Each structure stands twice: as C-alpha cells, then as structure tokens.
C-alpha cells in the first residue's frame, strides 16, 4: 500500500495528467494506424503491429478502468461501485492511513472506508493492482437532491496491460462476488410475519415496509455449533445447506428452480425452531414466518409467497395444525370459493364453518400448487421449511421428495446432544457424572429443551455439579414415572385379559375358584 502525502499527491496528479496526455497521443496514433493500415501489405502490417504494441507497452504499460458511483441515468448507485466499496473496506482499510467513517442504511455499525485520493494496493494470484477512490467536486455552489453532473465519484483500477484478460475475466468477478457477500453479511436481516387478515403494512424497521408482510430485525443467537444433535447428522445438514446456497449454476443447468424444502419433525422441544434460526444464521438469510391460519385464501397465499425476497427461509410451523393436511385434495379445491349456495344443509354448513375457522382457508392443493407453480419462478434462492410434531398425519403429496427434499427428524436428547448442551451451558467437556447421565438418557426420553432447562444456571454461585445432579434427579424421576406408566399399562392389559376370560367362562357356564 502506498499512502500519499499532500506533496506526493500533487506529483501523482501531475503524473496522471501526463499519463492522460500520453494516453491521448497514443489514442491518436492508434486511430491513425487503424485508418492507414489497409495501405500496407499484410506482412508489413503484422510487423508494424508488433512494434506498435511494444512501443505502447514501453511508454505506458498500464490499463486503467474507472467505476463511476452512479449509473448512466445518474439516479441509481452502481452495483459495481457498491461492491468495490465493500470489498476495499474489508480488505484495504488496514493498510490505508487516511480513512473516512460512515454508517450504511442497512447496518448499524460504523464502517471505515478508504479516503478520497488514497491509493491502496491489492494482489490477485500474484498480480499487483492499484485502487484509488477519486472525487471530482464542482466549483459552482448549488443545491440539488441528485448528484450533479459535474460531481463525480469513482474508483479507478490500474494494472499492467499484460494481465488484462485475467483481471477483466477473473479479478473483477472475484471483487464483485466478495463485495456482494460482504454486503449480505453486514446487512441486518429481517424476520417477517403475515398478520391476521393480511394486507397491513408493517413498521418496516428501515426495510421499506413489506406491504403484506410485517417486519422486525432478525436476531437469534442459535447456530449449528450450539444446536444439540448428533454431530455427523449435523455436519451433513450444514454441508447440504452450504452446497445449496452455492449451486445457482447447477440448478440452472438441471432446469430446476433454486429452491429447497426441509421437513423438520419430532416431539416438542427437540430443536425444530432452533434449527431454523441456525439455518438462517448460517446462510445469512431472512426468515418469513408464514402463519397459514392468518391467510384468507389460496390467492393471498400466492401473493405472500411472491412477495418474499431472495435469500430467505419461508417457515410454516406446525403444518399439521394449520391446514387440513389429511383431507383428500379433490374435496378441498373450493377453499377460496364462496361456499354459500342453495340446497345446502344449514346445520352442516355451520359445523363446517366452525371447523374451517380453526384451520386455514388455504387448501392443501393451493399450497402445493403455489410451491410448485408460479412461486418457484421467482428469481433467487429460497428455502421452505415445514415443522410438525406428527409427521404421520401429513399427506404424502405434501412431503414427497422434490417438494420437501430433506426430512430431518429431531428427537429426544441422546448423549452426543447432551455433550453439546453441557459444553454450551456449563462449559464442561467431561465429568464423572457423565457416565450415569449417558445410561439414564439411554433409558428415558427427555427433550433437549428439558435437558437444557436443567443445565441452565439459575444463579451466579451455581457450579456444574449442582446442575448435573439436578438433571440426574429429573431423569430418575422420569424413569420412575415411565416404570409406573408401564406397570399401569400392564395391569390394565391383565385386567382386560381377566375380564375377557371371565366373560368367556360365563359364556361357557364355568367359574374357576382360586
Ligand atoms: N437440539 C437443541 N439444541 C439446543 N437447544 C435446544 C434444542 N432443542 C431445544 N432446545 C432449547 O429448547 C428451546 C425450545 O426448542 P425449540 O423451540 O427449538 O423446540 P421445537 O422442536 O421447535 O418445539 P415445538 O415442537 O414445541 O415447536 C430452545 O429455545 C432451545 O433453548
Ligand atoms: Mg417450534
């Protein structure tokens, strides 16, 4: 990195001016050559061309590319400029001596950027490059909402001419991608919900209000590192998610919409919602929490889904409770139609209405059509997640592969999952009580939520031993309860057996006395 003082800055300016003059002269020469080249024989033309190239490279061996802040129309900020800005801020501010600080619209933190006219160097696969941020300020004073025509900010990239192809084909792509990735990482993510009745604009929180979605900032601390489950399964899920997020080209190649469906199922408190938050944090996606019971009809569902943004997870929690997932699809196609008509029994209609009130008016076919239909044509990547406590209740069509690509079971706490919770909550990797806990977890069914509750420190003075003992006590109590329940069940079975035996004896006219 070269930091310029005021004096060297002036020198650089004059050099730049000279370079511009030289550049103009060379451009003139090029035009002249182009005009007269047809007058030379072919062989001579080749020789002249080679000499000309050598001369140009000798006089001015660089290429400069400028990236203006605003696009052609002057109103829209250039995406390339924004990406370069973020890329340089992340990679070059440590080297620069003159910085400027500001806050982006979509993130809270103070961001440092390289000051105007400060030159920083970058290296790409052994090639050295120079970036400068420049601003051309107008002399006249006037007030305008838009950047004035003579008020221009731009980045200038300088590199050796011989690397032209590699820089334009590879380096610039790399800068754009990195800049985009940094933008995604730094922005505040949002959690959107659809309110009852829909159509109500939310507070926006700086995201511009989604119209039919209401938004808040998404801040959930869950990560895959803190999620308690079998590490091998966890790693597979993480790999799968990362692969999906990078597979735009692959999805295009196979002609499939860039969407992926996950079905998370298991008993309450086993980490389904926590996993969704971990997914969102891993991929830096927004979360759309879709409350189906608040959606009036299939048309509104379509509208809601089309209004989701790229890089988002659409979540439908407790799918079995929010839609009639067991009903025959042919019977329910009238979901958003007017149901009133002549010749219908008013009592039955009333019962039907009451039933419908509890569940969404969205039909299963409506949901399936939306997932497969128009919505899948929306650009960008999206993940859709269903959760349920009763996977056996779901219609096969809803969860078939292709719609729900991955079925993930989250179950009661095993020892591997417990180890993660112990590390999270108590910061212990091993303990003499672990052997006992392993055995008890094997014999009982306790959700990670309950285990976490026992391990949670309730006051400052608590040590790991106390928490582990509390867990052991709870597991033993559960074990006893299970034993009692099993005993009762056995007794009931025996009683039933005796009863049927008595009846059989009665029928046969015998009675046995002990
Ligand atoms: N696998 C897990 N790893 C870490 N923490 C967990 C896990 N499962 C549950 N918890 C803890 O228990 C709480 C409840 O879990 P969560 O809401 O994810 O369960 P759920 O499976 O979505 O339950 P429900 O079916 O009732 O919606 C979480 O806030 C978290 O602290
Ligand atoms: Mg949940």
CA–CA gap between residue 378 and residue 484 (Å, rounded): 55
Q: For residue 90, name the pLDDT band (cuts at 50, 70, 90).
A: confident
Residue 132, classed as helix, strand or coil, is strand
Beta bridge partners of 99: 114
How much is the pLDDT for 283? Answer: 93
Integer Cα distance of 192 and 169 in angstroms? 38
> b/e per residue, 316-341, with b = 16+ CB within 10 A?
bbbbbbbbbbeeeeeebeebbeeeee
Cα–Cα distances in angstroms (integers) from residue 191 to residues 112, 174, 194, 284, in the given order: 28, 30, 10, 12
Nearest to 1 by CA among 114, 155, 135: 114
Query: What is the average pLDDT score of the chain?
Result: 78
For the chain, percent of residues with pLDDT exceeding 70: 71
Residue 350, pLDDT > 60, answer no
Region 380-394: mean pLDDT is 91
- Over residues 426-451, the mean pLDDT reads 93
3-state secondary structure of 388: strand
Residue 44 CA to ligand 1 centre (angstroms): 79
Q: Using CA positions, which residue lies closest to atom 17 of ligand 1?
A: 273
Q: Residue 501: what pLDDT?
A: 55
Contact 385, 313 (CB under 8 A): yes
Predicted pLDDT of residue 21: 60
- Dump pLDDT digits (tens) for 18-71: 555 665 666 666 667 666 666 777 777 778 777 877 776 677 788 899 999 887
In the reported structure, the alpha carbon of residue 315 is separated from the centroid of ligand 2 by a whole-number distance in angstroms of 10
Flag whether pLDDT at 74 surpasses 70.
Answer: no
Say if residue 339's pLDDT is above 60: no
Q: For residue 486, which of 478, 498, 474, 475 has the smallest C-alpha distance?
A: 478
> Given this model, what pLDDT does residue 234 score?
95
List pLDDT tens digits, range 456-465.
Answer: 987 777 788 9
- The predicted pLDDT at position 159 comes to 93
pLDDT of residue 471: 95
Answer whether residue 346 shows pLDDT above 90. no
Res 158 pLDDT > 90: yes
Quote the pLDDT of residue 337.
41
Q: Between 99 and 69, where is the model more confident? A: 69
More confident residue, 145 or 187: 187
The predicted pLDDT at position 403 comes to 80
202 lines ligand 1 (CB under 6 A): no
Q: Is any atom of ligand 1 closer than 6 Å to the C-beta of 274?
A: yes
Q: How many CA atoms lie within 13 A of 33 on its CB side?
A: 17
Which of 269, 409, 445 is the best mutation target for the ligand 1 pocket, counting ligand atoms within 8 Å of the beta carbon and taking the most? 269
pLDDT for the residue 459: 76
What is the per-residue pLDDT for 207? 36
Average pLDDT over residues 252-265: 91
Residue 273 CB–ligand 1 contact under 6 Å: yes
Query: What is the best residue among 233, 266, 270, 415 to mutate for testing ligand 1's pocket, by most ligand atoms within 8 Å of CB?
Result: 270
Q: Give the percent of the chain with pLDDT over 90.
A: 35
Question: Is residue 485 very low, low, confident or very high in pLDDT (cuts 50, 70, 90)?
Answer: confident
User: Looking at residue 98, what is its pLDDT?
Assistant: 76
ipTM entry = 0.99
Q: How confident is the model at residue 360 (pLDDT cuts 50, 70, 90)?
A: low
- SS3 helix, strand, coil % of the chain, rounded to 5? 50, 15, 35
Measured from the CB, is residue 83 less than 6 Å from ligand 1?
no
299 pLDDT tier (thresholds 50, 70, 90)? confident
pLDDT tens profile 221-247: 999 999 999 999 999 999 999 999 999
Q: Is the CB of 222 under 6 A from ligand 1?
A: no
Q: What is the pTM of this model?
A: 0.65
- pLDDT at position 352, please? 58
> pLDDT at position 100, please?
75
Which of 263, 287, 260, 250 is CA-nearest to residue 383?
260
pLDDT at 334 over 60: no
Task: List CB contacts of 469: < 8 A, sequence separation 6 or more.
Answer: 433
Ligand 1 neighbour 277 (Cβ under 6 A): no
More confident residue, 98 or 260: 260
Res. 287: pLDDT tops 90? yes
Collapsed DSSP state (helix, strand, coil) of residue 64: strand
Averaged pLDDT for residues 389-403: 85
pLDDT band at 266 (very low <50, low <70, confident <90, very high): very high
Of 405 and 77, the one with more pLDDT: 405
pLDDT of residue 330: 41
Q: How many beta carbons lie within 10 A of that of residue 375, not counting itself?
A: 20
| Residues around ligand 2, an ion, CB closer than 5 A | 272-273
């Amino acid at each position: 990195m070269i930091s310029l003082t005021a004096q060297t800055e002036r020198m650089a300016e004059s050099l730049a001016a000279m370079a511009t003059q030289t550049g103009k002269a060379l451009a003139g020469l090029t035009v002249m050559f182009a005009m007269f080249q047809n007058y030379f024989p072919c062989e001579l033309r080749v020789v002249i061309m080679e000499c000309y190239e050598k001369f140009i490279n000798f006089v001015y061996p660089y290429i400069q590319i400028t990236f203006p802040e605003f696009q052609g129309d002057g109103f829209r900020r250039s995406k390339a400029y924004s990406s370069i800005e973020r890329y340089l801020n992340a990679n070059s501010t440590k080297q620069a001596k003159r910085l400027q600080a500001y806050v982006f619209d979509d993130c809270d933190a103070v961001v440092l950027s390289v000051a105007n006219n400060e030159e920083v160097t970058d290296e790409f696969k052994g090639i050295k490059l120079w970036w400068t941020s420049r601003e051309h300020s107008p002399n006249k004073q006037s007030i305008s909402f838009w950047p004035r025509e003579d008020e221009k900010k731009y980045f200038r990239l300088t590199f050796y001419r011989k690397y032209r192809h590699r820089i334009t084909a590879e380096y610039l792509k790399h800068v754009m991608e990195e800049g985009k990735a940094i933008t995604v990482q730094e922005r505040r993510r949002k959690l959107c919900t659809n309110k009852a009745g829909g159509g109500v604009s939310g507070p926006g929180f700086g995201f511009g209000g989604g119209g039919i979605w209401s938004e808040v900032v998404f801040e959930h601390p869950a990560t895959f590192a803190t999620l308690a489950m079998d590490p091998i399964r966890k790693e597979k899920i993480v790999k799968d998610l990362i692969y999906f997020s990078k597979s735009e080209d692959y999805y295009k190649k196979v002609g499939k919409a860039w969407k992926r469906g996950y079905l998370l199922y298991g008993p309450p408190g086993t980490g389904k919602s926590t996993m969704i938050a971990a997914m969102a944090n891993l991929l830096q996606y927004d979360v759309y929490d879709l409350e189906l019971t608040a959606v009036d009809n299939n048309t509104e569902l379509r509208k809601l889904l089309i209004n989701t943004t790229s890089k988002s997870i659409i979540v439908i929690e407790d799918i079995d409770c929010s839609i009639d997932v067991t009903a025959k699809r042919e019977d329910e196609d009238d979901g958003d139609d007017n149901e009133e008509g002549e010749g219908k029994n008013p009592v039955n209609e009333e019962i039907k209405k009451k039933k419908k009130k509890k569940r969404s008016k969205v039909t299963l076919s409506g949901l399936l059509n939306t997932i497969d239909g128009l919505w899948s044509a929306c650009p960008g990547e999206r993940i859709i997640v269903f959760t349920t406590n009763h996977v056996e209740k779901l219609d096969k069509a809803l969860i078939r592969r292709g719609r729900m690509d991955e079925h993930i079971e989250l179950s009661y706490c095993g020892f591997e999952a417990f180890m993660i919770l112990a590390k999270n909550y108590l910061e212990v990797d091993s303990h003499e009580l672990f052997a006992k806990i392993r055995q008890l977890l094997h014999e009982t069914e306790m959700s990670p939520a309950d285990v976490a509750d026992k391990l949670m420190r309730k006051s400052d003075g608590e040590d790991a031993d106390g928490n582990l003992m509390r867990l052991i006590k709870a597991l033993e109590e559960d074990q006893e309860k299970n034993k009692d329940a099993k005993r009762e069940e056995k007794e009931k079975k025996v009683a039933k057996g005796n009863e049927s035996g008595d009846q059989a004896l009665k029928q046969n006219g015998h009675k046995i006395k002990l």
